[in-house]
Structure 1
């Protein structure tokens, strides 16, 4: 046991780094321990041989290679710095005007996706993981719905159209979303927004309240484009309950002639 303890001091003894008291104890031990003396001598010889080894001269191309590696490192570091600066500038510019809401929506979705991946791999398996995923899925759904409703109130018609388009990303549309879409369909001042909303609602025709709402909207449309488009939707859905609403629309004296003919044709196809 003592030999093992003293052998740990050999390196310091060779380097002359041992305190005097420990050096004295080691030398006293060596005087009575042939094994440790032999081990120390072997270590000293190895130490001397290592000291006498020649250091190989660097290759004549070493400096060139080193400088090339250094320049490459600097360029990569500069590229990363510039990329980050460009990214921050782009974000700052994008954040200045109306695209704030869609950008925020995209960024939060990305962050929540990363959070989803983190939870999947760090929160364990089984029921706990499923619970975490269900919670995240619900939060993402609420976020999409909130963004969509907010964008429908945007002064820009193009932004309202984008808001309508987010409907396709909402898996489970609730009554609040449906009501907001119908408010847009019946009241938005821009006909293109109303046409986009009509298309979105037609994709939700599996909801009975959507079909009923579309029928009620027939008589509320004053644009020939909307009147023709909603006739096409009712024909596509084969919604026979819309016939009475179309007949009411035909009673309007100022109804566009082309729309009148189209509605008559639609009624005949639905009966």
Structure 2
């Protein structure tokens, strides 16, 4: 099975969209891999067929010949029109061209959709890689904030992204970055794994701003299982008054 990255590279190679070094790399792969060469030849054949089917049109002479033959048959004195073997062949040829054109259009459309999906996946992967690199930038809080903001803009997140967001929420040295990570994770609270880790995070947090924001989120989603943790916060002498008050309020709302 040829992976999608290699397929995309060879598609770009065929379209002439690669740099000189990338073209050399594609040619090296084709030289060394017989299965890859076979797939690439098939790719060229399909691409060529699509191009021809999209560009080909019946010639004016062929259309005129068909119309003239049809008119001759219609002018015959018999009330019914009987096609000669020649007419059958011409009609069959025209029908074949129409069907072939329709198939060519369908194949071309499917091929274009495949290319667009491959390009979309490539862009999403690049965005994800950039986002992860930003969130792991230990030297710049602003870069980490930007990475979290990218994650917050995503309609959904995979395990790798949520894991990175929880690392930021639980370990980042900057309060604003942690709050931003919590905001991003709040979008995915319906995921049981995310909800479970949010509850676990409440016992980890020591930053008052993050504690208060996390308590408010868990109350908003009506998570009654945090009652023991709320009582621990109230009884903890190191908890500041604002956090203890928020815990009291949360218990009343969840009761």
- TM category (shorter chain) comes to 0.5 to 0.7
Larger CA Rg, structure 1 vs 2: 1
Aligned structure 1 segments of 4 or more residues deviating by more than 4 angstroms: none
Does the 8 A contact of 1:144 with 1:169 survive in 2? no
* Per-residue CA distance 1:199-233 (angstroms, 9 max, x = gap): 11111212221111110000111111111111111
What is the distance in 1 between the residues matched to 2:153 and 2:122?
14
What is the distance in 2 between the residues matched to 1:199 and 1:169?
11
Structure 2 alignment gaps of length 5 or more: 1-16, 18-53, 55-104
Residues 1:152 and 2:165 are matched in the alignment: no
Q: What is the match of residue 253 of structure 2?
A: 269
Q: What is the match of residue 219 of structure 2?
A: 235
Count matched residues. 151
What is the distance in 2 between the residues matched to 1:188 and 1:125?
50
* Per-residue CA distance 1:154-189 (angstroms, 9 max, x = gap): 211111111000013434411011111001100001
Q: What is the match of residue 178 of structure 1?
A: 162
Q: RMSD in angstroms over aligned alpha carbons?
A: 2.1
Given candidates 102, 113, 121, the residue that maps to 1:138 is: 121
Structure 1 alignment gaps of length 5 or more: 1-114, 116-121
What is the distance in 1 between the residues matched to 2:156 and 2:214?
24
Residues 1:198 and 2:182 are matched in the alignment: yes
* Per-residue CA distance 1:237-258 (angstroms, 9 max, x = gap): 2222222332333332211112
Does the 8 A contact of 1:141 with 1:170 survive in 2? no
What is the distance in 1 between the residues matched to 2:117 and 2:190?
24
What is the distance in 1 between the residues matched to 2:251 and 2:210?
17
Does the 8 A contact of 1:218 with 1:249 survive in 2? no
What is the distance in 2 between the residues matched to 1:140 and 1:171?
15
* Per-residue CA distance 1:141-165 (angstroms, 9 max, x = gap): 1111111110012211111111000
What is the distance in 2 between the residues matched to 1:240 and 1:148?
33
TM-score, with length taken from structure 1: 0.52
What is the distance in 2 between the residues matched to 1:172 and 1:230?
20
What is the distance in 2 between the residues matched to 1:199 and 1:187?
16
Does the 8 A contact of 1:228 with 1:259 survive in 2? yes
